[in-house]
Structures are given as structure tokens and as C-alpha cells.
Amino acid sequence: MSLFEQITNCSAVLTEKLQGRTPKIGLVLGSGLGPFADTFAQKIEIPYSAVPGLPSSTVHGHKGQFVSGTLNGTHCLAMQGRLHGYEGFTAQETVMPIRTMIASGITTLIITNAAGGLNPEWPPGTLMLITDHIRLQSGHPLNGPNEERLGPRFPDMTEAYSLELRNIALASAEQMGTTLQQGVYVANDGPAYETPAEVRFAKVIGGDAVGMSTASEVIAARHMGARVLGISCITNYGAGLSSELLDHSEVTEVANRVKKTFQGLLTEIIRSISN
């Protein structure tokens, strides 16, 4: 079965389970950020396992499901939990839920993540608008024969993160009185956190935050023509920038601490996009 046929089949199942809804805004909710989907009205929860052909998330704190609902009247479709290469999935498999959402009608994708900060002046809890990324991960979501019905063989990535959406995000943050930093996200394989030397390297090559996701999702979304906005929640300092040892519980604790601000920002951004 071709990739196009796989995506078409997954999309058909998802569309049926959406019960006639046609959301245009999709969200990927990273570690500790999944509760945003709980703010939706008229929720429909669809586990990835209920869509034949989609892998299921294995990371603690990632529910591994789609959540459909409305936010101030705007139909949205969120991923509560994502797939990572370190779980044993190929790069192509990690982006299957993204491709399925886009094939089901999503034209705008808001991707969030929890990340380690490389700027010592950005304390945990800082929100960073992603302006670009540097992908250091193994494998590639576009490896293998290209399916032209999904997108071009060589997609342009000059504006991987939509400038229009970034301007909307900055205006939304200003409206709320929220500080939104801007920077470059460096994507690594994980699951081990970076070493201090790797953190120094990431800073030298132009990075502002490090994480284990996002870049492949953005590539797949742009391949299929969706526009993308990315926001990182800086949940910890990169290794070597603090005396604290890194722990996943810290990631979720900080994400929970800024949850109200982050959710408010996402709500305002979605409202502005929908107007």
C-alpha cells in the first residue's frame, strides 16, 4: 500500500469519527500541554489506536489521542500527545497523525513542545516563538519514494514557520501583556537529554532551545501545504547551564505552572486566525 493510500485510509476513518465536523486548525500538544484540549466545547476524543494504521504514543503524560471540539466557536482538532523516534518509530511513522489531520482538512497547524532553553536569561516558564529549526535527528520524514499527490519531492523550507502566523502570535502576546521570546529550535533524537558539550554546540550553530520533536512534523506539514506556527515552552535550562539535574517531572511541573498563560495565548491566537 502506498503512503498516499495509507493516509487516505486513516483520513477516511478520522473524518467519519469527527461526525461531520470540518476543523481547519490543528494543534500538536507537547509534554505537559495536553490539558489545553480539555478546554474545548463539544469534545470528541479519538484514540490513535481507533484509527487503523496509526501508531500509538507510549510516553508518560501523552494520552495518544485526537480531540475534536470548538474553542470560542472555532472548530479545532488537537493531538494530545505526539510520536517520537526514540519510541522506536521511523521518522515517517512519527508524522502519520500530522498527515492524517491535514488530509482530513486541517490547513493551519499550531505545534507546541516543551524544550530546554539555551539562553541563561530565559528562565523556565519562558514561551518561545519558533522562527526556524535545525534538525539533527536521524532518518527523515520524506525519505523513500515521493508521493506527488501529497506534496513535491523537494519542498521549500525557506519559511517553514509562517511569518503571517508569527506576526499574529506576537500581536496576540502583546494584547495579553505576555512576553513571547523568539528563537531557533534544535531537534535531537533523545531520549537522553543533551550533554553540556552538545548544549554548547547547539548554541554555537544558532540554537535557542533544544528538544526531541517538532522538526519532522513541520517538514511533513509543509510538504502537504499546511502553514505552521510553533511555540516552545522552555521548561528547563539546557545541561550545563544550571546546577540542577534534568528530570522529566520538572518538564511537566513547569508546563503545568505556565499552563494558564500558554492556554490563554493559544486561545487568543486561534481567535485572531479565525477572524
Q: Which residues are catalytic?
A: 31, 62, 84, 86-87, 114, 212-213, 236, 248
241's CB contacts (< 8 A; 6+ apart) are: 117, 118, 120, 199
